[in-house]
Structure 1
C-alpha cells in the first residue's frame, strides 16, 4: 500500500525527519517548495494527518485551497494536485507529459476536481513547475 512513511499521528514530521528518510530526493523537495514560494509568496505551510490509512503529508496553500501536496515515502516522495475543470482543460492542451494527462483524464471527478499524484524526480520537475503555474492561475 502506498502511504506516508510518517504514520504516527502523535508525531508531526520535521525537516530532520524528511532529510533522514527522503535521502537524495530531499533537495528536490526543497526545490519544489521554493518554486511554489517564487510564484505565491508566503503560502501557508502545514502538515496534515487525514488518518492512519494515509499518514502525514505536507501541503502549501493559498488563502482558500491547497496549491500542492507533498507525500513523503521511503527514499522518495510524490506530489499531489487537485484540478478543477478549467485547469484540467489547460493541462490537456499543454505540452505536459502524456502520462500525467492520462492520469488526470482517468482520475475520478469530485466536487473540488480531479486529483493526481506524480512521482517527484528531476525529470518530472519541469512538468511539476508547469502544473503549479496552472494551479495558481485558476
Structure 2
C-alpha cells in the first residue's frame, strides 16, 4: 500500500494538514464526497503505527470506503460482501479494476 503521511497517533489529521498533504489533489477527494448519494459520515481512525490514520466514509451503517492520505494523492480501498462481489464479477468491468 502507499505510504500514509499520517502515521503519528498523537497528530490526528486536520483540514489544514489534509490540504497541505494532498495539494491540488484535495479537490478530487472533495468531489468524491459530493458524488455519494445520501448523507455520509467521515470518521478518522488510527490503525497502528504501520498503517496510521485512515479516513472512513460511512453511509448509514455501511463502510463505503477507506481512504489513505499520501503525499500529493490518496488511495481508496473498498470492502465488499459476497453479494456485491458476485455483482461486480458479473458486471463486465475491466479485470484490472475488479482486482
* Shared fold (TM-score, shorter chain, > 0.5): yes
Structure 1 gaps, min length 5? 104-138
Matched, 1:47 2:44: yes
Alignment equivalent of 1:91, drawn from 83, 88, 92: 88
CA distance in 1, matches of 2:93, 2:20: 31
1:28 aligned residue:
28
Within a 5 Å distance, the mapping from 1:1-138 to structure 2 comes to: 2-36=2-36, 39-41=37-39, 43-101=40-98, 103=99
Structure 2 gaps, min length 5? none
How many residue pairs get aligned? The number is 99
Q: More helix per residue: 1 or 2?
A: 1
- The alignment's C-alpha RMSD in Å is 1.5
Question: 1:94 offset after TM fit, Å?
Answer: 1.8
Partner deviation per Cα, 1:14-65 (whole Å, 9 max, x = no partner): 11111111122111011111112xx122x22110101111011111113323
Normalized against structure 2, the TM-score is what?
0.89
Conservation of the 8 A alpha-carbon contact between 2:2 and 2:75: no
